[in-house]
Amino acid sequence: MAELIVIGYDDPEVAEQAYGTVLDLQRDYVVHLNGLAIVSVDADGSTHVDTNSKVVGASAASGAIWGAIFGLLFLLPGVGLLAGAALGGLVGKISKSGVDDGFRQQVQDLLKPGTAAVVIMTSKLTDDKFTVAMQPHGGTVLKTSLSDEDERELAEQLAGPQ
């Protein structure tokens, strides 16, 4: 089961520190990352994304799922209205898997001008150690899950017809 965690911060510098802590936790095997990014919104309302390509999971499927979920959360907020049949099916599948419109709206509400969020997709997490390590940074935590079956179906849908 994969966990999608979004932690919102009023101060982008604190988000940078939290991002560093997550990388440390990966090195210490507290978290196994499928994806990690910082999303910040500048004073003009423009969204900026900083990802570490080395963090995305080893398999193409986990990278594709990360990219699809990330895109739907941050880069294509109106995708439901614009989606063609294939993309519409993917949006529908992601919505059924826990990343629904309500979660997307909560994420969007976190990101106001001058704020930032750390976005984490993980397939393994030692909750108690993760919580203790992240606690000094504070922030608003949003969390949802993708079952193994949902991940597999998303990967198949992203791969397209064989």
How do the domains of the chain map onto residue ranges?
A: 2-159
Token pair of 43 as six digits: 């004073």
Q: Is 3 helix (H, G, I), strand (E, B) or coil?
A: strand
Q: From first to last of the 162 residues of the chain, give the pLDDT tens digit.
A: 788 889 999 999 999 999 999 999 999 999 998 888 898 989 998 888 887 655 555 455 556 666 667 666 765 544 444 444 444 555 555 555 556 778 888 888 888 999 999 988 888 999 999 999 999 999 999 998 877 776 666 666 555 554
Q: How far apart are CA 110 and CA 68, in angstroms?
A: 20
